[in-house]
Structure 1
Amino acid sequence: MRKSWMTLATALLLCFCLHSPATFAQGPKRAGPPTRSFDAPGAPAFIRLDGKPGMNPAPDADGNFLIGPEYLAAPEQQVVAGIPQGKVQQFTIDSRETKLFNPGIARKVFGVVDPQNPKTLIVETHEIDYSRQITVYIPAQYKPGSEAPFMVVHDGPKGKPDLTLPRILDNLIAQKRVPAMIVIMIANGGGDAQGHERGKEYDTMSGLFAEYIETEVLPRVEKECNVKLTKDPDGRAAMGSSSGGSAALIMAWYRPDLYHRVLTTSGTFVNQQWPFDSQTPDGAWGFHDKIIPESPTKPLRIFLAVGDRDNFNPNVMRDGMHNWVEANHRMAKVLKAKGYHYQYLFCQNSGHGVRNAKAQFLPHALEWVWHGYGDQKNE
């Protein structure tokens, strides 16, 4: 009897697992992005640093570099005794108190490809109010009343601050490898991609988000944190990952009077702009396709990094403009052709966001982006 009961219980449990909503919700396991080889057709020529864990290019070198597949976390992430430590402050901005990006937008479902235009989606959105957290790092070396260089970081924390970047900067500033800069980490407005506030802010090909930061965020930072921020575009940088990376370049490209330095990881230089704009029909894919090649060279310094397993067609669009690796390869080639100061890292054994590689190269990337900033650095 005991054996029969156990057999029945096992069968009932198996039946429940097979028919439970959670099981149905999982569906078939989605295949991950393919690995793209560094020497595949269409890839730029790389200077090989692979097989040397912990090794990054020179901090003043331009060009294309291959790193990985193993990485060593940078020692600059650690708190070092005797190194002055900056402070971190936070405050929030209510969208209802701003002129731009008020109200925000959100969607309930992803959307479908527009049958009249395969380059865009039909998405139903609704208006939202939202709160945006601002996290500000102020170095110990900041002199009250002075105008400081600064860096805007997209996708800032929405809760407790991650102190990794502040700790790295404590060390880099003390070693005089970067200027004593203020860092402004700005949370996005919510959601992701087409039809959400984050997508509207980050993927729109215009200077509107740079204008929002200039008029709505920076004055509040100066007031809330009792600091002054430089107006010199050479003393301003923008940094971001994924769509935050495309946002960093978009800000500097459309407003070079405001920003000259750009740091991107897994930059979304693909066709993700929404709503559709006939002036930039390919979204950020247009940067490497026509915009940069056909425009005068701008005074920008641009860092790029992407993983060999980075995104490839992650949604319903199959327009030939949703391969993150190809997009970043193309960016490197057009930047070189136009004579830009750029450094491009192709990270083996790394996916979207290149987290394992970024743990190694972020201090280096910050130093490279700020290379050449004035003779007065850290004086």
Structure 2
Amino acid sequence: MNTTKIINRAIVFGMLLGAIWNATPAIAQVPIRDPHTPGYVVATELPDGTIPSASANGNFIIGPTHDAAPESIMQDNVPQGTVYRFTIDSKDSKIYPGIAREPKTFGTADPANPAKLIVTTSHPDPYSRQIAVYVPKQYVAGTAAPFIVGADGPDDLLFTVLDNLIAEGKVPAMIAISIGNGSGDAQGSQRGLEYDTMNGVYAEFVENEILPLVESKYQVKLTKDPSGRATMGGSSGGSCALIMAWYHPELYHRVLTYSGTFINQQWPYNPKTPQGAWGFHTTLIPKSRPKPLRIWMEVGDQDLFNPNIMRDDMHDWVAANENMAKALAVKGYQYQFVFARNARHVDYKVKKQTLPEALEWLWKDYRPAQSAK
């Protein structure tokens, strides 16, 4: 290739990069946040390479080095659970028949209400989702097992961590149900409809359409005790985890989130929850009696900041998680909040470093109900 062609391609590539940068400045220029910013929660800064104790509540800052915890790595001398996998289609669901937003489209902010996004390119569309079910080696057939439901699955890291923690006696012998989303992302998509909608429908979908399948396919029994049921997820999967427990505390008492999307991403717009998941920390938690929830949260110093076309000041992931910690503290919730330095959105290195401790903390007070035996 001659020099002229190389130069011309370089110029075109540079112009494309510039166009992307200018079109999405909020994404391209993610700020690095200082956890000691005025207005953020007061937090205990830990030495680099250490994480909070599984017995500690409150706010913590972890350093920039994120080495994997030993429990995040498969150990040959530890009993390995069995992982089953299956797929379900939208035609089999009475609750979620399937939607999708047209590629390369987003929506238009309502000029009368910047918190409302008008999406005209969403339409019915079928989907398939993968589901993985982890059954620990220690599970006793016929007994009602505690379990954790995870979003955006399958999550093989979760299964590895559970193998190790269960063997060490740090968490109960629980079943994990890792559910893939219905495709797409954000407003107008199936994933957005499932994860960002402020109601109990997704929890009801799991309860009525997924859990019975798991029990029948793999001859396991899942506890009905909400103290023995947990939810987890990252990003919108994290907001989904809290939404499930918030609207159905009779089903779930434990919530674990990475980079939770506690922002205004709900669609369709609902005047009862006009701020979407941003409303958790502005109105819902502050104005409600405390629910019997135990909540673990993480956010990274380079997490998302994307005001996009809505310009509603409710699309800052770090501020949202900081505000969540403040709201939970005021209401006296049992929670642990980790602010991670040198960490991006749902940072996998941070997850490998912290997930074992997070799960141990989440289940620290668990006592099986008599009826669950």
Q: TM-score range by the shorter chain?
A: over 0.9
Which region of structure 1 is more displaced relative to structure 2, 347-356 or 135-144? 347-356
Q: For residue 48 of structure 2, what is the aligned residue in structure 1?
A: 52
- State the 1:78 CA deviation: 2.1
The verdict on how the C-alpha distance between 1:42 and 1:139 changes in structure 2, with shifts beyond 3 A counting, is: same
Q: For residue 27 of structure 1, what is the aligned residue in structure 2?
A: 19
Structure 1: give runs of 5+ residues left out of the alignment.
1-5
Secondary structure of 1:174's counterpart equals helix
Rounded to whole Å, the distance in 2 between the matches of 1:83 and 1:102 is 41
Query: In structure 2, what residue type is equivalent to 1:57?
Result: P
Query: In structure 2, what residue type is equivalent to 1:143?
Result: V
Please give the residue correspondences for 1:119-130 in structure 2 after superposition, counting only pairs within 5 Å: 119-124=115-120, 125-130=122-127
Q: For residue 33 of structure 2, what is the aligned residue in structure 1?
A: 36
- State the 1:165 CA deviation: 1.7
Rounded to whole Å, the distance in 2 between the matches of 1:57 and 1:28 is 39
Say if 1:233 and 1:259, in contact at 8 Å, map to a contact too: yes
Rounded to whole Å, the distance in 2 between the matches of 1:141 and 1:314 is 47
- State the 1:299 CA deviation: 0.3
Rounded to whole Å, the distance in 2 between the matches of 1:26 and 1:91 is 43
Rounded to whole Å, the distance in 2 between the matches of 1:138 and 1:258 is 20
Rounded to whole Å, the distance in 2 between the matches of 1:47 and 1:103 is 44
The verdict on how the C-alpha distance between 1:82 and 1:119 changes in structure 2, with shifts beyond 3 A counting, is: same
Residues 1:140 and 2:132 aligned together: no
Rounded to whole Å, the distance in 1 between the matches of 2:193 and 2:20 is 31
Q: For residue 106 of structure 2, what is the aligned residue in structure 1?
A: 110
Say if 1:56 and 1:67, in contact at 8 Å, map to a contact too: yes
Residues 1:91 and 2:86 aligned together: yes
Rounded to whole Å, the distance in 1 between the matches of 2:77 and 2:20 is 53
Say if 2:99 and 2:188, in contact at 8 Å, map to a contact too: no
Rounded to whole Å, the distance in 2 between the matches of 1:361 and 1:17 is 42
Q: For residue 66 of structure 1, what is the aligned residue in structure 2?
A: 61
Query: What is the aligned-residue RMSD (CA, Å)?
Result: 1.9
Please give the residue correspondences for 1:188-227 in structure 2 after superposition, counting only pairs within 5 Å: 188-227=181-220
Rounded to whole Å, the distance in 2 between the matches of 1:59 and 1:236 is 19
- State the 1:358 CA deviation: 1.7
Deviations 1:327-352 (A, max 9, x none): 11111011011010000001011111
- State the 1:25 CA deviation: 7.4
Query: In structure 2, what residue type is equivalent to 1:85?
Result: Q
Deviations 1:199-218 (A, max 9, x none): 00000000000000000110
Say if 1:107 and 1:123, in contact at 8 Å, map to a contact too: no
Say if 1:241 and 1:265, in contact at 8 Å, map to a contact too: yes
- State the 1:287 CA deviation: 0.4
Aligned partner of 1:306 among 299, 310, 322: 299
Rounded to whole Å, the distance in 2 between the matches of 1:338 and 1:52 is 30
Report the count of equivalent residues. 364
Rounded to whole Å, the distance in 1 between the matches of 2:90 and 2:368 is 40
- State the 1:15 CA deviation: 2.8
- State the 1:70 CA deviation: 1.4
Q: Which has the larger radius of gyration?
A: 1
Say if 1:151 and 1:236, in contact at 8 Å, map to a contact too: yes
Rounded to whole Å, the distance in 2 between the matches of 1:12 and 1:203 is 47
Deviations 1:108-159 (A, max 9, x none): 31112111221021112111011111101110001111111000000003xx
**Normalized against structure 2, the TM-score is what?**
0.93
Secondary structure of 1:350's counterpart equals coil
Query: In structure 2, what residue type is equivalent to 1:61?
Result: A
Which region of structure 1 is more displaced relative to structure 2, 112-121 or 367-376? 367-376
- State the 1:253 CA deviation: 0.3
Q: For residue 168 of structure 1, what is the aligned residue in structure 2?
A: 161
The verdict on how the C-alpha distance between 1:67 and 1:327 changes in structure 2, with shifts beyond 3 A counting, is: same
Q: For residue 178 of structure 2, what is the aligned residue in structure 1?
A: 185
Secondary structure of 2:124's counterpart equals strand
Aligned partner of 2:286 among 278, 286, 293: 293
Query: In structure 1, what residue type is equivalent to 2:128?
Result: S
Which region of structure 1 is more displaced relative to structure 2, 84-93 or 27-36? 27-36
Say if 1:311 and 1:325, in contact at 8 Å, map to a contact too: yes
Structure 2: give runs of 5+ residues left out of the alignment.
none
